Chain A
Amino acid sequence: MAAVTDFDRALAPVYHQDRENKYGLVDWLTTVDHKKIGILYGAAGLIYFLIGGLEAVLMRIQLALPDQNIFIGDTFNGLVTMHATTMVFMAIMPMIAAFSNYFVPLMIGARDVAFPRMNAFSWWTFFFGSVLLNSSLIFAEFPAAGWTGYAPLTSKGITPSQGIDFWWAGLTMLAISSMVAGVNFVVTILNMRAPGMTLMRVPVLAWMMLVIQFLLAFSFPPVAVGLILLAFDRTFGTVFYEYTMGGDPHLWQHLFWVFGHPEVYVLILPSMGIVSEILPVFARRPLYGQHAVIFSGIFIGFVGFGVWGHHMFTSGMGPIADAVFASTTAIIAIPTAVKIFNWLGTLWNGKLSFPTAMLFAVSFIPLFTIGGLSGIMHANAPLDLQQHDSYFVVAHFHYVLVGGAIMGLFAGFYFYMPKISGKMMSESLGKIHFWLFAIGMNVTFWPMHDLGNRGMPRRIYTYPADAGWNVDNLLATGGVVLMAIGTLIFVYNLVTSVKGGRDAGRDPWDASTLEWLCDSPPKVHNFDFTPVVYSERPLWDHKYSPDMAISVPTQAEEIHMPSNSWKPMYVSIGILMILVGLLLIGTLPFSWLLSIAGAITIIASLIAWVTEPV
């Protein structure tokens, strides 16, 4: 049996240009290394998860008892809006970006992404956009129209607050970031695969990342248009959402949900990919029906574009549109079922062990199933007329988002941190985290089904004592305490493990894909030699089927890695200037000069970008 230590013998490649791992401030600001960018995304995602969680905690405090007066009116609505916007766009999305940045190139045996500087540009655009969005609290007040920002509540006449302006400006930057990243990763995954890695040998996580990059690239433009129209309405007096001028508020809903529904699959598919990577490792057998799992992911991506109307059953689209959207929505249960059953098939007959990563991955299955099954209830249009905008929906999407997406991402952290830091995370703390979080999330979100059934609408800051919602709300608030403690333990575990954990070695889990072939943490150039791939489990076959061992070349490769650059950040700053200039129109005279300066910054930095030696 060949061993992973074989790879220690590989000769380091010969660089054509110096490049080493340095961690000074400038190195972080100018980095184009996919691994460092991944770490930046991950850190930002975690911090925003804490902030979004804190906002949830404040909401739950207000809702713990009936008739409370702690956060009322638009203060509460601002918390709801920023909680969701933060969690969706600034916590889960960057965590997904963290995994795709760090691991997709490793998984497919590449040395970096296709366009490293464009990658840095995506990161900085995300970063400035998220800061811009959150700075609304400092300069104005939180946007308070819900994360769905339905027109005409967002129009200037009804909500003059500048919070909404920060919202559209920030989201526009996040949209640009995601579209560019989408293009970059589509190319990376399609074109940068190691020799021999046919599409069907691409690991499932990388596949799911490929699907979501398409979703990002194609679903963000509609909402970008929606936001642009909103921005024009608010700054230049256009009348897109002005009903007095014939405008139709449904336009926004369509533009938003054409994006919004594919977006929820953007949030879940990576976690499904992570689960598909982890289950086989700890069952010690291949993923059951790998091709079916991949194709069902693609199918979900396609169908996901045709179901957006299920968020609008109560809006009066008419029975025919309702019927079409309801039926297509239900179809998504089929590819999802294929995934669930193949995971069960993977566990069945396996030799299961349960470190923390596996606990999270396994818990994904029942928790996501609960959320999916309530989704199927929503897909029933007549029933959804009752459930829409009630806490039943809140229960549905937290089961898929927290029980699905977040559980999967936690699994990913426990599974992949040893590769990133080279150190193991503590298993005992991990298990405490798991139990607190798993129990807490059920205690919080399960009663919300009941609240919805009992007629409690969502986004309300108070409720009367005699409506029969008291027990459930108190339970829901109690559960958050468990989740919060669990999360803090996780952060502690993560931070301390980076310095103090046990050494991980190349392949701590006896895994099967290429990322476990390189060092932990990987060298700047990832692989000392480009591995050649003969199956979908190259490393496993190296270890367990002697005739498929990856042989280590005896001579060093010659490579060239692109060097650091300031230009991506400059271009992002240019975009930030343009948007800030626009959102200040009407507040600050001549603010449009800032926009012009921004455009000039962009052009100048781009010229420098193209002519820069790399």
Chain B
Amino acid sequence: MAKVAQARSPYAVLVRSSAKSLRFCLSPTTRWAGRMLRTIQPIRLPDWYTRQFGLLSPARTGSTSRKSLLSPVLLIAAIIAIAAVAGCSTELAPRDTHATISDSGNISSFFYKMLLYVDIVIGVAVFGFLAVAIVRFRRAAGDDSLPPQNHGDARLELIWTAIPTVIVVVITIPMLVGLFQLAKHPDQNQKIIEIDVTGKQWWWDFTYKSGTANGLQTANEVHVEANTAVVMNMTSSDVIHAWWIPRLTGKRDATPGRTYPLYFTPLEPGIYDGQCAELCGASHAVMGTKLFVHPPAKEVEVEYAGKKYTLDSYETWAREQMASSVAPATPELEKGAKLFRDKTCPACHLVKGLEGAESAGQSVTTGPNLTHVGSRMTIAANTLLNTPQNLAKWIQDPQAVKPGAKMTKIAMTPDEAAAIAAYLTSLK
């Protein structure tokens, strides 16, 4: 996948400054660690080595100490083994939080890497000391002598309070930098795509506020342009939802009665999946969303789920969407459109340009805007592929697809459903 230049991202600056401060603060730490090691006791390697492999005289390796000899070591080995199995597959997951494609997403990914290294160092230190202690300081059977009965050491205490303090300071400073970066509104002088996002049980309503698409309304699938800053204003009309595209950037809660912003600049054209990340009721699991990052100028080919797709430029897409719906061209479609009206669908859905469906414009927020539903890749919030069969299935029994779905189940024959589905499919 072609990487788009990241010159504008704060990523590089952040890496460099953080690495510098890390090195600055860690070098005394390593020296302290060395001293600490010496204060404790030198590790007499041959002793535990021989004991571990049962090379000592039988008197010292009694059966009790033998039986449980390797247990804690095995535990750690097991953890590492599972880590290897589960954590280290190299193929890119479709929703990988670390293969991020936006400036703000890269900030999160950077901190993951930074903290992963810090954690590994700490983990290795703690596990290492533990493993050595467990292996080296076993009580041999019949050994009734007492180990040293000292109560601690103030100097050590100071050292192992100071080291974590330093680490905490070191990881906190870049974090604060990143935090304020993420909260910064993009430069007002550049082109900004602004979108109002409303979470609903259990779908997403997007209203575009700028540029060619000003006033456009789409459901569940949201379209932006690569290398153009995006401002999303999150809100909700029932319960709290959270809009999350893992490959894009972190999530933001959509809170009823409040509006909170999310800023990002997508850097790589493509199609990305995501879903609601805040428990919002029965169908929370199937409240999906999709992000299309269009190329700025001419169309490009992108890969999604193993298939190739062509993405128009953002402007082209926006112009097409701003148009009214296409009128039904055949008697079949005419029938579907009539059924659509008769079955009271327009009570909740707007189809711009369809007579009888447009007048109900004021209630359009009850259900998704269907003006160009035929151009969707998926329906019912990224749950079903947009095929006529799936449409018919959904229309006949929404609750069977999504538990508790807020679209009423309207009685109709399979034929009627198929006709409506055909009409909706034609709404490209």
Closest residue to B254 on the A side, CB-wise? Answer: A316
Minimum Cβ distance to chain B for residue A228 (Å)? 21
Select from chain A the residue with minimum beta-carbon distance to B278.
A389
A256 CB, min distance to chain B CBs, angstroms: 13
Q: Interface 1/0s, chain A 265-289, versus B by CB < 8 A?
A: 0000000000000000001111111
Q: In the complex, A159 Cα to B240 Cα: how many Å?
A: 13
- Interfacial chain A residues near B404, Cβ < 8 Å: 73-74
Shortest beta-carbon distance from A83 to chain B in Å = 13
Interface residues of A in 350-393 (CB under 8 A from B): 350-354, 359, 362-363, 365-366, 369-370, 373-374, 376-377, 380-390
Q: Whole-angstrom distance from the CB of A287 to the nearest CB of chain B?
A: 8
Known contacts A352-B138, A373-B123; decide if A344 and B283 are in contact (CB<8 Å): no
Please report the number of residue pairs spanning A and B whose Cβ atoms sit closer than 8 angstroms.
342
Closest to A434 in B: B71
Residues of the B chain whose Cβ atoms lie less than 8 Å from the Cβ of A285: 146-150
A319 contacts B96, C-beta separation under 8 Å: no
Check if A26 is an interface residue, CB within 8 A of chain B. no
Q: Which residue of B lies closest to A451 (CB)?
A: B86
On whether the beta carbons of B182 and A385 are closer than 8 Å, the reply is yes
User: Is B179 an interface residue, CB under 8 A from the partner?
Assistant: yes
Binds B, one of A6-14, A107-115, A320-328, A565-573: A320-328
Q: Which of A246, A347, A475 contacts B130 (CB 8 A)?
A: A347
Q: Are B253 and A386 within 8 A (Cβ)?
A: no
Q: A362-B130, A381-B179, A457-B275 are in contact. Are A544 and B146 (CB under 8 A)?
A: yes
Query: Is there contact, CB below 8 Å, between A382 and B179?
Result: yes
Are B253 and A315 closer than 8 Å at their CB atoms? yes
B255 with A316: CB separation less than 8 A: yes
A290 within 8 A of B: yes
For residue A555, CB closer than 8 A to chain B, the reply is: no
Of the listed residues A244, A386, A390, A467, the one surrounded by the most CB atoms of chain B closer than 10 A to its CB is: A386
Are A370 and B123 neighbours in the complex by a CB distance under 8 Å? yes
Interface window among A15-23, A129-137, A458-466, A501-509: A458-466
| B282–A319 CB distance below 8 A | no
B281 adjacent to A153 (CB under 8 Å): yes
B55 within 8 A of A: no
Query: Does B326 lie at the interface of the complex (its beta carbon under 8 Å from any beta carbon of A)?
Result: no
A442 is contacted by which of B82, B109, B112 (Cβ under 8 Å)? B82
A233 on the B face (CB < 8 A): no
Q: How far apart are the CA atoms of A158 and B148 in the complex, in Å? A: 64
Instruction: State whether B119 touches A453 (Cβ < 8 A).
Output: no
Which residues in chain A, 148-169, are within 8 Å of chain B measured between CB atoms? 150, 152-153, 158-159
Taking a contact as CB atoms under 8 Å apart, the answer to whether B78 and A354 are in contact is: no
| Of A184-192, A335-343, A580-588, the one touching chain B | A335-343
Q: Say if the beta carbon of A601 comes within 8 Å of chain B.
A: no
Once A334-B168, A348-B137, A351-B143 are accepted as A-B contacts, the answer to whether A153 and B280 lie under 8 Å apart by CB is yes
Chain A residues with Cβ below 8 Å from B9 are none
Contact in complex: B68, A475 (CB < 8 Å) = no
Determine the interface band of chain A, counting residues with CB < 8 A from chain B: 35 or more
Contact call A349/B41, Cβ cutoff below 8 A: yes
- List B48-70 residues whose CB lies under 8 Å from chain A: 64-65, 68
Asked if A348 and B41 sit within 8 Å, CB to CB, the answer is yes
| Segment among B242-250, B313-321, B360-368 that sits at the interface with chain A | B242-250
Q: Which B residue's beta carbon lies closest to that of A443?
A: B82
A369 and B123 contacting across the interface, CB-CB below 8 Å:
yes
Contacts of B282 in A (CB 8 A): 73-74, 77, 144
Cβ contacts B144-159/A at 8 Å (1 or 0 each) = 0111111111001100
A-contacting 9-mer, from B87-95, B205-213, B295-303, B345-353: B87-95
State whether B152 touches A342 (Cβ < 8 A).
Answer: yes
Decide: A369 and B182 in contact? CB cutoff 8 A: no
Contact A366–B255 (Cβ < 8 Å): no
Docked complex Cα distance between A370 and B122 (Å): 10
**In whole angstroms, what is the CA distance A453 to B168 when docked?**
23
Within 8 A of A (CB), among B102-151: 105, 107-109, 111-112, 115-116, 118-119, 122-123, 126-127, 129-130, 133-134, 137-139, 143, 145-151
Residue numbers in A under 8 Å from B112 (CB-CB): 377, 383, 386, 453
B83 within 8 A of A: yes
In the bound complex, do residue A331 and residue B147 qualify as a contact, i.e. CB atoms below 8 Å apart?
no
Bound: A348/B87 CA distance, A: 32
Map CB proximity to B onto A540-553 as digits: 1 under 8 Å, 0 otherwise. 00001000000000
Q: Which residue of B lies closest to A378 (CB)?
A: B115
**Interchain nearest-CB distance for A305 vs B (Å):** 18
Contact status A382-B250, CB under 8 Å? yes
A77–B285 Cα distance when bound, in Å, is 10
Taking the closest CB of chain A, its distance from the CB of B144, in whole angstroms, is 9
- Determine the chain B residues whose CB is within 8 A of the CB of A475 once the complex forms: 82, 85-86
Q: Which of B170-178, B190-198, B329-337 contacts A (4 or more CB under 8 A)?
A: B170-178
List chain B residues, Cβ under 8 A from A439.
75, 78
Q: Evaluate contact between A351 and B182: CB separation under 8 angstroms.
A: no
CA separation between A388 and B91, bound complex, in Å? 23
Q: Which of B93, B172, B255 contacts A454 (CB 8 A)?
A: B93
CA distance A550 to B111 in the complex (A): 57
A246/B257 in contact, CB under 8 A: yes
Q: How far apart are the CA atoms of A319 and B260 in the complex, in Å?
A: 12
Task: For the complex formed, measure the closest distance between the CB of B283 and the CB atoms of chain A, giving whole angstroms.
Answer: 7
Does B425 reach chain A (CB closer than 8 Å)?
no
Q: Which residue of B64, B111, B137, B148 is within 8 Å of A380 (Cβ)?
A: B111
Interface check B277, CB cutoff 8 A: yes
| A362 to B244 CA separation, bound complex (whole angstroms) | 39
| Cβ–Cβ < 8 Å partners of B118 in chain A | 376
How many Å lie between the Cα of A1 and that of B181 in the bound state? 67
- Once A284-B147, A453-B97, A455-B274 are accepted as A-B contacts, the answer to whether A341 and B160 lie under 8 Å apart by CB is yes
A314, B279: Cβ atoms closer than 8 Å: no
CB contact under 8 A between A359 and B68, given known A289-B152, A457-B244: yes
Complex Cα gap A342–B152 (Å): 8
A452 to B253, CA, bound (A): 18
Contact B403 A73 (CB under 8 A): yes
| Docked pose: A74 CA to B285 CA in angstroms | 10
A471 touches B183 (CB 8 A): no
Which residues of B (16-64) have their CB < 8 Å from a CB of A? Answer: 40-41, 64
Question: Would you call B276 an interface residue if the criterion is a C-beta within 8 Å of the partner chain's C-beta atoms?
Answer: yes
Contact residue among B40, B86, B247, B283 (Cβ-Cβ distance under 8 Å from A450): B86
Alpha-carbon distance A353/B62, docked complex (angstroms): 12
Chain B residues within 8 Å of A288, by CB: 151-152
Q: Closest residue to B76 on the A side, CB-wise?
A: A366
Q: Within the complex, what minimum Cβ distance (angstroms) separates A35 from chain B?
A: 31
CA distance A466 to B304 in the complex (A): 11
A589 touches B (CB below 8 Å): no
Interchain CA distance A462-B287 in the complex, whole Å: 11
Judge whether A196 is part of the interface by a CB distance below 8 angstroms. no
Residue from the set B76, B83, B97 with the largest chain A CB neighbour count within 10 Å? B97
B134, B164, B180, most chain A CB atoms within 10 A: B164
Q: Is A145 an interface residue (CB 8 A)?
A: yes
Q: With A283-B147, A314-B242 given, is the CB distance from A462 to B95 under 8 Å? A: no
The answer, yes or no, to whether B256 is at the interface (CB within 8 Å) is: yes
Does the CB pair A243–B115 fall under 8 Å? Answer: no
Q: A454 to B68, alpha carbons, bound, how many Å?
A: 37
Could you say which residues of chain A place their CB within 8 Å of the CB of B98? Answer: 453
User: B161 to A337, Cβ gap below 8 A?
Assistant: yes
In the assembled complex, B427 has its CB within 8 A of some CB on chain A: no
**B238 interface residue (CB < 8 Å to A):** yes
A sample of 24 inter-chain contacts (CB < 8 A) reads A73-B282, A150-B240, A150-B278, A283-B137, A315-B260, A319-B182, A333-B167, A337-B161, A344-B130, A348-B133, A350-B137, A359-B68, A359-B72, A369-B126, A376-B171, A380-B171, A381-B175, A385-B251, A386-B246, A388-B251, A438-B78, A453-B98, A456-B95, A468-B91
Closest 6 CB pairs of A and B: A385-B250, A73-B403, A455-B95, A243-B257, A316-B260, A455-B246
> What would 10 more interface pairs be, CB under 8 Å, given A341-B160, A377-B116, A439-B78?
A77-B279, A348-B41, A352-B137, A362-B134, A380-B171, A390-B246, A446-B82, A450-B89, A460-B275, A469-B93
